[in-house]
A and B are shown apart, each in its own frame.
Chain A
Amino acid sequence: MTQLIIFVALLVGGYAIGAFNERRHYASIRRREEEMRGLMLFASRDMPETHEGWLVMGNTVVSIDYFKRFITGLRQLVGGQLDAYESLVERARREAILRMKSDALTRGATHIVNVKLETSRVFYDDRRRSTGSVEVLAYGTAIRAADQV
């Protein structure tokens, strides 16, 4: 009985706090994306005429909440789309890109070219069934276009 109560408490707590954090994080992501819209990113290597180029990066490690992990466990019985993980990785990726952008802006970049994104599962322990945490790394070459100098 006690175990059931703990389980339900974790489920409800995980859902409430997890959903609250997610909404807050999305609001913050959208606000900062708007602020830094002037800094353009390119996946290609073509670049405007420039004097300088340097490496910039941003990363973030995220994990899923208890409620979503439970729902995901159920979902895996039937397969299909795992929305919970989709939003998790998407948030992480947008956050990593934002951090890379602020890194570039500290030295007055106008563009970031050759942007690469890397996603990897880190610090996972199968024996203890600990949650996978996912790291997203964004990196690229920040440049300052010549006509902006």
Chain B
Amino acid sequence: MIVTNIEQVPGKRVTRHLGLVNGNTVRAKHVGRDIMAGFKNLVGGELKGYTELLTESRNTAMERMIQEAQALGANAVLNVRFSTSTISQGAAELMAYGTAVVLEDEA
């Protein structure tokens, strides 16, 4: 599965267009990480626990997007975008979306 955020893949051409696919996940922070972040709020700097949490969540969203693309029979997702939004207090939604396509090697 090829995933990129540009419209074409070098050396390949799009033979079928399968439409938009997306994957999302909503995550809440948990108490342990919150306490550490509370300390970190006093001295500033990176909140590593939150960074990891969001990285994991974004990977989950991407996996779901890729699964949806595979179910459609695609072998690539092009023009991928990410979006992050706070939908409730203490929870974040991460979404990944892109265009599922079938690619073939250029003759």
Which A residues fall within an 8 A CB radius of B? Answer: 10, 13-14, 17-18, 21-22, 25, 45, 47, 49-55, 57, 59-66, 68, 88, 92, 95, 113-114, 116, 118, 120-127, 130-131, 133, 135, 137, 139-141, 143
Contacts and interface: CB of A to CB of B under 8 A. Distances in A.
Nearest to A46: B6
Interface residues of B, number: 36
Contacts of B44: 14, 17-18, 21-22, 62-66, 68, 88
A14 B42 contact: yes
Contacts of B45: 18, 21-22, 25, 62-63, 65
A53 B6 contact: yes
* Chain A residues touching B, majority SS: strand
Contacts of A63: 37, 40-41, 44-45, 47
A118 B7 CA distance: 20
